[in-house]
Amino acid sequence: MRLRLSPWIGRDIKVLEAGCGATSPIGFGNRAHVVGLDVDREAMSRNDGLDETIVGDLERYPLPAEAFDIVFCRYVLEHLRDPEHALANMRQALRAGGWLMLIFPNRRSLKGLVTRLTPHSLHRLGYRVLRKRVFPVRDALRELRLGRWDSELR
């Protein structure tokens, strides 16, 4: 599948960055109104790519229905107890024709293997050195069937 940006170029859009943290990896342009959602208020305070912030949990925070043109979620689902509920929450927040953009780790990659085989305490130590907050990685993504979501969004 080829990503076509043309529907969004030159338009005012509203973006939800779910689990935004302290930095935004994508610049959505000066015509985008970017709303960040995260459980870490302090991290969001350092994120200069946001126009608005929501302190909340992606699984439980009641996102407004059909409010966003793009919902962007990067490296968040693997940390949640119920990623299916988070996906349903994000999907209902999309306007008709909107994009749900998900990025999550490949369990079969070297990084994924190392993450699973090392204790969480080692991850916390590494992130403490880097001065970043670390969240536990859950195994819920193994059971997640994204093919169903893909077909429902088309």
Of the CA atoms within 13 Å of residue 144, those in its CB half-sphere come to: 22
Tokens 């940390």 correspond to 79
How do the pLDDT tens digits run along the chain, 154 residues long?
344 555 666 679 999 999 998 888 888 888 899 999 999 999 999 999 999 999 999 999 999 999 999 999 998 888 888 889 999 999 999 999 999 999 887 777 776 777 777 776 776 676 666 655 555 555 555 555 555 544 454 4
What's this model's pTM, rounded to 2 decimal places?
0.73
Helices marked H in the chain — which ranges?
41-45, 83-93, 110-117, 120-130, 140-143, 146-153
Sketch out the chain's domains with CATH numbers.
Answer: 13-106+138-153 (3.40.50.150)
Distance of CA 137 to the CA centre of its chain: 14
